[in-house]
Each structure stands twice: as C-alpha cells, then as structure tokens.
Structure 1
C-alpha cells in the first residue's frame, strides 16, 4: 500500500478538500440546475462537470504523481489512467445524478485511490446530510471521524432491510425477489456509493445491484471491506476489477447474513 495516507495530516487535507468542493460545486447547485441526457441514457448536470473539473485540479495540485479517472472523462482517458504504474484517482463527481436533478436529496461524491489494482483509500461524501464515509486499506473505516463497523442486531435474513436495485437485475431474479422476498423490507435509494456506505453503517443489512461501474463502487467497496462487511458479485467473484466494466454486487453486514443472502440469490 502507498504510505501517503498513513499520514494523518495528508488524509485530513484530502477529506477537507473533497468536503469543501462538494459543498461549493454540488450542494450549492441542488435544485438550481437543469439536466441533459448522455448517449448512454444517464443524466448529466453542471454539478457533475464542475465538480469533476475542480476535483481534478485540486488533486493534481496536491498529489501530481497520480493519474485521474472521472466518470465524465472519455473512455480513452479512463483506460489510460487505469494503466498508470503510480496509481490513479477514481471520481464519481455526483453519484445519484437522477436524484440530484429531480430534487431528491440523496446523492454523493465518491473518490477512491487505486494503486497496483488495489483500492488503498476511499471516501464518499453526502453533502445534504454532511456525512463523510472514509476508509484506508488496513486502517479501518470511519463516519465523520468516528470508527465505522458493519454490524447489526438482525441475525437472520428475514429480519433485514434489503437495499436492492431491481432495474439492473435479470428479470428472473427480480421476479423472485418480488414474489418471494427473503427480507423484512426493501429500499432503493438511487446512489450506488451511498448503497455501500449505508450497508457499512447498518442502515440496510443486505445489498444487491446488477451492474455498476468502478467509479460507482470503488470507494464504497473499500468502506464496506474495512468496516468488516462482505461482498462479491452474483457469480461469487471479487467486485473490484482494475478496468472499466460493469459489475454486479452482493454485500452484507455480517458473514452469516452474507452466506444466507448468497444462498437465496443462487
């Protein structure tokens, strides 16, 4: 692991910078901007483009040794950044843009640092709630400077809240979840990065999503891992891969719930 963010001052500089930029470039525009539709059908706002631009400038000034991959970067730029031998930042400037553009106050900024194919640092900031989830590889997870541990008093799947994005699941699996739900209740909040963080915080206990990109999940994945939660794809592989390709995700707060959840999904 890079030793950079073992330094408390450097870590705080990074966290303070992202929080400040998110308030300036994202929260200040909430309910004040119009949106457009990208070629892939996803939503884009001025907050996305301006947050990405401002964050890239901040990171380059502070840590010029790392490359940069943003959701709004071109595919060529994204692929080149991931090939970096020094490491690369991965940013989703507004995760939950559809919520943001619709006036729904559930969205976030997600930033991860990947070195040699490993996520070594990650943070997800929810500017509406002023909640900063963060983690460093091997050093645990935190929420607003307090240790974050994935735990729950709910000991069986049937007592749990499931965070599930039905839209991106196969029709067969989605129908199974609707007809024979294994949990007590289900939510879909519209921000993948916060999905992961809310699992780490125990706000939901099990999670399933059919297709998410590396900028959606990289930081949240590390936060769940460092909080002690467990995750895999629907096929049982590691969610994390060092390329831009959509991945399914299954996660839970505890090993016991994770196994029960995987058994049901299988």
Structure 2
C-alpha cells in the first residue's frame, strides 16, 4: 500500500481540490454537454470515434491545467503517441485525460459518457475525477483521503452476498472467445450490463450500481481516475493475471473488480485467476 504522505501534490489542500473540480465541471458543461446531440463524428485510425467535443475539451482542459499547475506534463487520449510517452516519462508527474469517455454513446445521443482526469506521480495515481455531465455527478478521489460522489463519502458496498445475486458490468467485445463463451454459457451472476463508458463503469461499481466488473483491454486514460475512485472507496481490483491494473505505461490492460472482498474472491475464482 502506498503511503500517501510520501507523494507531494497540491490537491491535499481543499482549496486546490475544489478549484480543480470547479474548473473541470465548467469546461465539461461548455465543451461537452453543450455539444450533446449537436455534433457529428469521424472515425479514427483505430476505428473509434472522434467528435468536436473530444478535441475542444482536451484543448481547453490542457490550457486550464497548464495555467494553474504547470509543473505537471499532460497526457490526453487525443495526444500523439509521442506526446503521450513523453508525458508519462516526466519525473514531476503528469495529468491523464479522457476528454469524452464514451464517445460512441455521445455521438449517437446516448447520455452515458464522462470526462475523466487523473494525476499520476512516480507511477502512482494520486488524484482522480470522473464527471458525468448528463447526471451532474462528480466522482472524486485522492490517495489516502477516500472517495466522494458530489462531495459526500463514497464507500463500495452492497447487500448482495453472493456472485449469483449480482449484476455484472461486462465488456464482452474485448474478452477472449474462450472466456466470453464461458460467461455466456455458464452465467455466474443474476444480470449483465455494458454501458460504454469505462470511467463510469469503475465509478458505478464503487457506487454499487453493479457489483462485479470485467473488461479485456482498456487504456490508462480509460481507467486511471475510475480505478482510484474504486480503490479509495474500498473496492477491489486486479487484472486477469492477478496483477495491479495500474501501470505507468500507455498500454492496454484487462480489469477485474468488485465492490467487496468476498465477491471479489468469488469472482476471481470463477474467472480462474490464481
């Protein structure tokens, strides 16, 4: 467990923390929410979608962060791979932004998307925000200081005691055919969802809106802030190799998570994670 006192950052102070949250909310409302159902989308080289909201939210957020906390580098989903690698290697730390997580939903009028921002220092995630403009919900977390939803403590918990009672948030598309088939034919839980915003997936597990989670391949901007929210809320996670989801690299990672330790252990046993 990382000792939060060994990592220096300004967001231990409430004034700076509130300044960051207020700024991100204002930008999300102006650059993202105001464009909902108002813009078209284009396809990127990897097949994912890009809208004006993605590019403008990233541009304006980068400027806001540089004006207020210039000591940190900036890594955005829409940055070039060279810029992403350079930011990740900055000794002082870097911001990690997904300007619109759930662009596919956003582009076709499904109100399930979010803005995700995390701060990584020395390979550790120290602060994270996930803002849902459609619901005006701000999930936030600071290392060693707990998680919050709209300023109120967020604690991962659920009255569901067994895996068979649970709802799973599962992304089948990115799983191996063998694992996807096993889940589909030997369903271990009560019901299954896939919402299309990885950042919200993590936060909704923390809030008990689903109890177990599985995703086969997500980038650091997808999971960084949401992972910290769940971690600080007291939830549990690992990858499919039983290692930490978080690595200080721009590579895809699998993710397994649950609200409580008993459910996490039962879920891992079902997935045959050793």
Same fold (TM over 0.5): yes
1:2 is displaced (CA, Å) by 1.9
TM-score, normalised to structure 1, is 1.00
* Aligned 8 A contact 1:2 1:120 in 2: no
Query: Which sections of structure 2, spanning at least 5 residues, go unmatched?
Result: 1-6
Counterpart selection for 1:248 from 233, 247, 254: 254
User: Equivalents in 2 of 1:118, 1:220: separation in Å?
Assistant: 14
User: Equivalents in 1 of 2:79, 2:46: separation in Å?
Assistant: 14
Cα offsets for 1:243-265 (capped at 9, x unmatched):
10000000000010000000001
Partner of 1:182: 188
Residues 1:165 and 2:167 aligned together: no
Partner of 1:208: 214
Between the two proteins, the alignment pairs up a number of residues equal to 266
Query: Which sections of structure 1, spanning at least 5 residues, go unmatched?
Result: none
1:64 is displaced (CA, Å) by 0.5
Partner of 2:223: 217
Runs of 4+ residues deviating >2 angstroms? none
User: Equivalents in 1 of 2:192, 2:67: separation in Å?
Assistant: 43
Q: 1:91 to 1:222 in 2, by over 3 A?
A: same
Partner of 1:39: 45
User: Equivalents in 2 of 1:66, 1:9: separation in Å?
Assistant: 18
User: Equivalents in 2 of 1:247, 1:85: separation in Å?
Assistant: 23
Cα offsets for 1:152-211 (capped at 9, x unmatched):
000100000000000000011111111111000000000000000000000000000000
User: Equivalents in 2 of 1:4, 1:61: separation in Å?
Assistant: 14
Residues 1:96 and 2:96 aligned together: no
Q: What root-mean-square deviation, in Å, do the aligned CA atoms of Structure 1 and Structure 2 show? A: 0.4
User: Equivalents in 1 of 2:87, 2:97: separation in Å?
Assistant: 12
SS in 1 for 2:91: coil
1:3 is displaced (CA, Å) by 3.6
User: Equivalents in 2 of 1:44, 1:14: separation in Å?
Assistant: 25
SS in 1 for 2:112: coil
SS in 2 for 1:26: helix
